[in-house]
Amino acid sequence: GAVVSQHPSWVICKSGTSVKIECRSLDFQATTMFWYRQFPKQSLMLMATSNEGSKATYEQGVEKDKFLINHASLTLSTLTVTSAHPEDSSFYICLDRGFGVGYTFGSGTRLTVV
Amino acid sequence: GQSLEQPSEVTAVEGAIVQINCTYQTSGFYGLSWYQQHDGGAPTFLSYNALDGLEETGRFSSFLSRSDSYGYLLLQELQMKDSASYFCAVREDQGGKLIFGQGTELSVKP
């Protein structure tokens, strides 16, 4: 399957600042990348679908101006959490659709906003 | 609306067999997947069913019945390292969007 590199693996930031999370597909072209958020002991909630060269599609209830997604190249998708607040503290993870039936997750980013 | 139901937790002993069920109600269906997630880690792919029947991969098997909107993951010869959360996920559309269940926390006891 695909190999997806996600950075950073963890980040602590101050309230009001922005954080950028990168997901890079290392061996396949990631034309479609999904971004999920997971709170402790809860499920993975889809935030948005990122397609190379086009605007991201956001799920209902997800603020597109707060969670900026860019997919400028075939191998790189980024999620920027703008003006972060403590309630944004969560585990953010990307999912590369790839070509097979078993999609590949990035390693995840644990964001803590203080 | 869309929903995937699975038990919140299951406990079993080493060497036993455990079955984790998943029932789903989604706007579209293009297959059912299973993922394993250890504490603090990323989910890893276990199995996928697009058609009815049983898929076997080593100690893990997965079953799907589309007419019943139901599937299960079967884990055999349980090992301590199998203690983790298990998620079922439905591929909801042709774009490949995955919708996840709430997860089942499996505890394997000695």
What tens digit of pLDDT does each residue of B61-83 get?
Answer: 999 999 999 999 999 999 999 99
Residue B26 and residue B3: Cα distance in Å, rounded?
A: 6
Half-sphere exposure of A16 (CA within 13 A, CB side): 0
Residues of chain A contacting B35 with CB distance shorter than 8 Å: 105
pLDDT for A100 equals 67
Could you tell me the two tokens for B52? Answer: 């009815």
Residue A98 and residue B48: Cα distance in Å, rounded?
A: 15
Cα dihedral across residues A111, A19, B43, A36: positive or negative:
positive
pLDDT for A52 equals 83
Tell me how close the Cα of B47 comes to any Cα of chain A, in angstroms: 7
pLDDT for A44 equals 96
| B86 vs A: CB within 8 A | no
* Contact predicate B8/B85, CB 8 Å: no
Pick out chain B residues at pLDDT < 70: 1
Section A49-78 average pLDDT: 91
* Contact predicate B109/B102, CB 8 Å: no
pLDDT for B1 equals 67
| B101 vs A: CB within 8 A | yes
Task: Quote the mean pLDDT of chain A.
Answer: 91
| B98 vs A: CB within 8 A | yes
pLDDT for A51 equals 87
Residue A54, pLDDT > 90, answer: no
- Contact between A105 and B43 using a beta-carbon 8 Å cutoff: yes
Residue B55 and residue B57: Cα distance in Å, rounded?
A: 7
Tell me how close the Cα of A98 comes to any Cα of chain B, in angstroms: 10
- Contact between B97 and A108 using a beta-carbon 8 Å cutoff: no
Predicted confidence band at A75 (pLDDT cuts at 50, 70, 90)? confident
Residue B94 and residue B12: Cα distance in Å, rounded?
A: 37
Section A69-88 average pLDDT: 93
